[in-house]
């Protein structure tokens, strides 16, 4: 009797398996009929993975240059307050149903697991919570255009250049999925994103078939010269020895130049967005912690406070790994992330500026809503370097580094980096 039951039950499972198999065969046949890019777009814009209703384009609207603005969030809330943007995991406190922060700043709750081991043996924790293994920071959704050339995905670069792994993390972080994405789905999402460019000239610099490889020997993207006198003056600020060009250099404008005090080719820096007095997120004290004992420990500057002032988001300091440098003689050097940040302040990936006039708001925390506010932030930053040695090009005797005329010139020049119209 028992074995009969077993037989029936097994036959049933077998039948279920067979029918499930034929459904999935059909699905994969449908999928095969499309190329991965088309299939990826479909997943990006409609696949919820049986989760909370969110899809990738919920936060990376393709018609809005791959990102979203506070205005967009407010429109959505007005028409559909139950819509997929408004999920408890991104509410003000992570457990409720109020979405003030999301509506005002279009930032999301990013929950980060702190590394159990770091290269230096030290970690960064909140000073009043040195045993906590996770932290929550609030960050904007960057554009997904031009990510084929990204070697450091995410504001802190933690996903490297791996669009497949990043897609899986994104599903887990935002979609509360009821099922795991398949490898084929993740590869299709990656292929689709790797096909998105703000400018056709950027696509043309890529090695066909090896999209994530930036090709040194291809003709590099040239910055436009500017047409009007104002644009031409704005262009000067992007020379490698000037205020913007020292950090926004190289073909994608996301590497330091040889005039940067710490060396050429660094992918991370600070815009001092965390130091500004009035930022969207609550600030905390962060301390070095000995990860063996969970006790506060002295960092490289001898104190356990990581930063000179409280900050909301320690940036790359929370990720495990090394920051690469180039020494004055050109030789490579590495330092553990969690030690580097203490010296320079919270560091973030230097984002590309191609397409940036269309992808407001700006900085990891969306603290600058317009390019004008970006430049106000840089005036705040350049104040920290009164001798002008770091703010290459600032007049040390001027009341602010960038005058109103400079700001107008830079912004009118930057319009030339806008997305190409299709």
Provide the binding-site residues for ligand HEC, judged by CB under 6 A.
Answer: 54, 56, 58-60, 108, 110, 139, 141-142, 144, 147, 150, 153-156, 166-167, 170-171, 174, 189, 193, 237, 243-244, 246-248, 269-271, 273, 348, 350-351, 353, 356, 359, 362-364, 374-375, 378, 410
- Cα 192 to its chain centre, rounded Å, is 18
When the beta carbons of 340 and 410 are compared against ligand HEC, the nearer one is 410
Q: Minimal distance in Å, beta carbon 60 to ligand HEC?
A: 5
When the beta carbons of 196 and 291 are compared against ligand HEC, the nearer one is 196
Q: Minimal distance in Å, beta carbon 29 to ligand HEC?
A: 24
When the beta carbons of 172 and 285 are compared against ligand HEC, the nearer one is 172
Q: Minimal distance in Å, beta carbon 295 to ligand HEC?
A: 28
Please tell me what DSSP assigns to residue 65: T
83 burial (CB, 10 Å; 0-12 / 13-18 / 19+) is middle
Q: Quick check: 45 and 62 in contact, CB under 8 A?
A: yes
Q: Minimal distance in Å, beta carbon 116 to ligand HEC?
A: 19
When the beta carbons of 106 and 339 are compared against ligand HEC, the nearer one is 106
Token pair of 195 as six digits? 């096909």
Q: Minimal distance in Å, beta carbon 408 to ligand HEC?
A: 12
Token pair of 191 as six digits? 């292929």
Q: In Å, how far are 44, 87, 341 from 109, measured between CA atoms?
A: 20, 11, 22
When the beta carbons of 41 and 269 are compared against ligand HEC, the nearer one is 269
When the beta carbons of 252 and 304 are compared against ligand HEC, the nearer one is 252
DSSP states of 235-266: HHTTSTTSTTTTTSBTTTT-B--TTSTT-TT-
Q: Quick check: 42 and 335 in contact, CB under 8 A?
A: no
When the beta carbons of 173 and 296 are compared against ligand HEC, the nearer one is 173
Q: In Å, how far are 136, 206, 270, 322 from 341, measured between CA atoms?
A: 18, 32, 9, 11
Q: Minimal distance in Å, beta carbon 240 to ligand HEC?
A: 11
CA distance 248 to 257: 8
When the beta carbons of 162 and 290 are compared against ligand HEC, the nearer one is 162
How crowded is residue 212: how many other Cβ atoms within 10 Å of its Cβ? 17
Q: Minimal distance in Å, beta carbon 208 to ligand HEC?
A: 21
Q: Minimal distance in Å, beta carbon 143 to ligand HEC?
A: 7
Nearest CA among 174, 170, 145 for reference residue 159: 170
CA distance 76 to 352: 28
Bridge partners (DSSP) of residue 214 are: 206
């Amino acid at each position: 009797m028992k074995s009969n039951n077993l037989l029936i039950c097994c036959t049933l499972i077998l039948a279920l398996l067979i029918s499930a198999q034929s459904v999935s065969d059909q699905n994969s046949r449908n999928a095969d009929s499309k190329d991965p890019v088309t299939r990826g777009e479909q997943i990006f814009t409609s696949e919820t993975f049986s989760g909370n209703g969110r899809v990738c384009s919920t936060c990376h609207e393709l018609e809005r240059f791959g990102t979203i603005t506070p205005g967009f969030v407010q429109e959505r809330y007005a028409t559909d307050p139950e819509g997929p943007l408004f999920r408890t995991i991104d509410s003000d406190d992570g457990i409720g149903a109020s979405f003030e922060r999301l509506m005002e700043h279009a930032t999301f709750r990013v929950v980060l697991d702190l590394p159990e081991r770091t290269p230096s043996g030290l970690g960064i924790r909140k000073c009043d919570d040195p045993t906590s293994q996770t932290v929550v920071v609030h960050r904007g959704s960057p554009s997904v255009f031009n990510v084929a050339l990204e070697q450091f995905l995410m504001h802190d670069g933690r996903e490297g250049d791996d669009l497949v792994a990043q897609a899986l993390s994104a599903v887990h972080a935002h979609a509360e999925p009821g099922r795991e994405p398949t490898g084929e789905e993740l590869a299709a999402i990656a292929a689709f994103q790797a096909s998105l460019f703000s400018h056709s000239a950027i696509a043309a610099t890529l090695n066909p078939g090896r999209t994530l490889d930036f090709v040194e020997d291809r003709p590099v993207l040239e910055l436009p010269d500017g047409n009007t006198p104002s644009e031409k003056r704005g262009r000067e600020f992007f020379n490698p020895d000037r205020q913007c060009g020292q950090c926004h250099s190289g073909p994608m404008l996301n590497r330091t130049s040889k005039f940067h005090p710490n060396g050429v080719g660094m992918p991370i820096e600070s815009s001092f967005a965390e130091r500004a007095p009035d930022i969207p997120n609550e600030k905390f004290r962060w301390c070095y912690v000995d990860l063996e004992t969970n006790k506060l420990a002295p960092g490289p500057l001898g104190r356990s406070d990581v930063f000179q002032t409280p900050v909301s988001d320690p940036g790359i300091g929370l990720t495990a790994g090394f920051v690469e440098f180039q020494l004055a003689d050109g030789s490579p050097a590495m330092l553990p992330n969690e030690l580097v940040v203490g010296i320079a302040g919270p560091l973030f990936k230097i984002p590309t500026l191609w397409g940036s006039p269309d992808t407001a708001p700006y900085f990891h925390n969306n603290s600058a809503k317009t390019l004008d506010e970006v430049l106000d932030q840089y005036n705040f930053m350049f104040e920290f370097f009164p001798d002008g040695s770091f703010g290459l090009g600032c007049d040390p005797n001027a009341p602010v580094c960038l005058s109103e005329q400079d700001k107008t010139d830079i912004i009118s020049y930057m319009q030339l980096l806008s997305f190409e119209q299709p």
